[in-house]
Chains A and B, each alone.
Chain A
Amino acid sequence: MSIKPSVTVAVSGLNNIDSPGPGIPVIRALKESNFFNVRIIGLSYETLEPGLYMRDLVDKSYQLPLPSAGIAVLLDRLHYIHQQENIQVIIPNFDSELYNFIKIADQLKSEMGILTVLPTLNQFESRQKSVLNDFGKKNDVKVPFSKTIFSVNELLTIEEEFNYPLVIKGKYYDAAVVANFSQASHYFHKISNQWGLPIVVQEFVTGTEVNVTAIGDGEGNCIGAVPMRKLYITDKGKAWAGVSLDDAQLIAITNQIISKSKWKGGCELEFIRSNDGYYLLEMNPRFPAWVYLAVACGQNHPEALLKMALGYPVKPFQRYDTGKLFIRYSYDQIVDMQQFETISTKGEL
């Protein structure tokens, strides 16, 4: 017989859609913890985020104000939620909300006793797509040459520095490989309309895309890392199926990045394996939506993060299973109008 500590954890990223957020996989990992008995408070931005209605995984949910509303509004809302639920740990899972959560992390702890495991603001900013060249130099990892632009006219001036095809990337999300100025211009407008400026223009590196889900303790230790290759990609470029890899070099590069940057928290490293080695394309500052594959391979990264938050000792994982596949599927939840009405009108469910 064992007794597990009970913990109340608030998790965002409940948008388990075709371009899924990491919330539900993180919750699934926490619910399967051998160490904790976890009560989940879902944090959502939209009333149709599927995770809101997954009552076997999410015990109670609350709407949050959009990140653009600012820190004061977010803190007010979290004060209210905390009064109702006595949250011990928050795991934010959206790139776009992380800036606010990093800014209020100290206040969350001092005013409400809510713990987080987040990168510092410097770490968060250092891996932004717009400064990837510097990140590569600092962490001794190859990155594709990239440049930040603010107007479509700059596409003409950078043609001396780039050869087509090249990649047009949004500040937070979205990317397109373009073969000429006309396509580049089209995607500049399309992506900037949705995600804002600046746009990042990046050298196109040919090879195989491989990704790593990892977690650092902020002291330079990589607590866990599992590499994956996408086997099936949706039209949004998201993995619908993938397989864990046995790649010692990739793990070594990941360890090096986590160690040199002293990264704290979960992250996803996106690489291209080309003929002349690995190129880091992006470092996402939170767990990826496929993080549950790491759990299935023997490394429960969300549980490790929860232990770190609560001050339990966490030793680096020593191994993981290779050749494990994840295959997503879609599933129609049936929801009573009353539930939709409740979250729409009261902001909680």
Chain B
Amino acid sequence: MHINSNVAISDSGFIFNPLTGDSFTTNPIGLQIIEMLKNGLSQQKIITEITTKYLVESSTVEKDLRDYLSMLNSYQLGEYVN
């Protein structure tokens, strides 16, 4: 997924979408995921990073990541890429 280039994200986890005018807050892990997406990491690489860092089941991370990406997409913050 690509995070849309005009989306503003602060270190505090505050997100502003200047296209829609919507604003959101995300937690530290959500912020880390967005940073990883912006750095071009694949979904599999993100799952590996989080699984290693937080010692959680990869299946759990995979499901949560899928939900999170779906949310980013529905809020027009990011777009799926092939």
Q: Contacts of A208 on B, CB cut-off 8 Å? A: 20
Bound: A229/B17 CA distance, A: 12
Do residues B8 and A247 form an inter-chain contact, with CB atoms below 8 A? Answer: no
From A231, A242, A323, contact of B18 by CB (8 A): A323
Q: Which residue of A lies closest to B16 (CB)?
A: A323
Q: Contacts of B20 on A, CB cut-off 8 Å? A: 208, 229, 245
Q: How many A-B residue pairs have CB under 8 A?
A: 22
Q: Contacts of B8 on A, CB cut-off 8 Å? A: 323
Shortest distance between the CB of B76 and any CB in chain A (Å): 11
Shortest distance between the CB of A36 and any CB in chain B (Å): 31
What is the number of residues of chain B that contact chain A, defined by CB distance less than 8 Å? 7
Bound: A243/B16 CA distance, A: 10
Do residues B19 and A245 form an inter-chain contact, with CB atoms below 8 A? Answer: yes
Bound: A208/B18 CA distance, A: 14
Q: Mark A203-224, 1 if CB is under 8 A from B, else 0.
A: 0000010100000000000000
Q: Contacts of B16 on A, CB cut-off 8 Å? A: 323
Bound: A231/B20 CA distance, A: 11
Bound: A323/B6 CA distance, A: 11
Bound: A228/B20 CA distance, A: 9
Do most interface residues of chain B lie in helix, strand or loop, or is the interface mixed? loop
Q: Contacts of B21 on A, CB cut-off 8 Å? A: 210, 228-229, 231, 242-243, 245
A86 close to chain B: CB less than 8 A: no
A134 close to chain B: CB less than 8 A: no
Q: Contacts of A242 on B, CB cut-off 8 Å? A: 21
Bound: A229/B21 CA distance, A: 6
Bound: A242/B8 CA distance, A: 17
A32 close to chain B: CB less than 8 A: no
Q: Which residue of B lies closest to A250 (CB)?
A: B19
Shortest distance between the CB of B74 and any CB in chain A (Å): 13
Q: Contacts of A247 on B, CB cut-off 8 Å? A: 18-19
A322 close to chain B: CB less than 8 A: yes
A246 close to chain B: CB less than 8 A: yes
Q: Mark A40-55, 1 if CB is under 8 A from B, else 0.
A: 0000000000000000
Q: Which residue of A lies closest to B23 (CB)?
A: A243
Bound: A242/B21 CA distance, A: 8
Q: List 22 A-B contacts (CB under 8 A).
A: A208-B20, A210-B21, A228-B21, A229-B20, A229-B21, A231-B21, A242-B21, A243-B21, A244-B18, A245-B18, A245-B19, A245-B20, A245-B21, A246-B6, A246-B18, A246-B19, A247-B18, A247-B19, A322-B18, A323-B8, A323-B16, A323-B18
Q: Please list the residues of chain A having a beta carbon within 8 angstroms of any beta carbon in chain B.
A: 208, 210, 228-229, 231, 242-247, 322-323
The 4 closest A-B pairs by CB, nearest first: A229-B21, A246-B18, A322-B18, A243-B21
Given contacts A245-B20, A246-B18, A247-B19, 13 further A-B contacts (CB under 8 A): A208-B20, A210-B21, A229-B20, A229-B21, A231-B21, A242-B21, A243-B21, A245-B18, A245-B21, A246-B6, A246-B19, A323-B16, A323-B18
